[in-house]
Amino acid sequence: MGVSEEVAEMCVVPLKMFSVSTLIIGWRSHITSWLILLKKTAVVFPSCVIRMIIFFAVLNLFPLLGIHGAPLGVAAFLSGFIVETLSVQIATFVVEYKMKRSRPLVVSSSKYGAIIDY
């Protein structure tokens, strides 16, 4: 690529951190699309707010721990998406639980040969 060995060595840690993000973002996209398909978009909204809070918290707190430059940016990016994915996953569990609870009870009676929905 034409970069010096020194610059290439500085890129190793951010690239390793960044390679994990595709799995996290892919899973978040999958469960978000499932919620949108069910028209449950209101439960997705808090995840964006939580992501921004964590993003700014990491950008303000990690420099106190000695993390600067590209690792700081990638850590903020990755931690924001991790928290957003967890938030959307929790929303998915809640929606799925409510769907199971609201499912109608089906009783079959062989004596009358009919299915009764309650």
Q: What is the pLDDT of residue 92?
A: 94
Q: What is the pLDDT of residue 111?
A: 58
User: 64 with 56: CB under 8 angstroms?
Assistant: no
Q: 17 falls in which pLDDT band (50, 70, 90)?
A: confident
Cα dihedral across residues 86, 82, 80, 88: positive or negative: negative
Q: What is the pLDDT of residue 80?
A: 92
Q: What is the pLDDT of residue 15?
A: 84
- pTM of the model as a whole: 0.74
Does residue 23 or residue 113 have the better pLDDT?
23
Q: What is the pLDDT of residue 54?
A: 95
Q: What is the pLDDT of residue 49?
A: 92
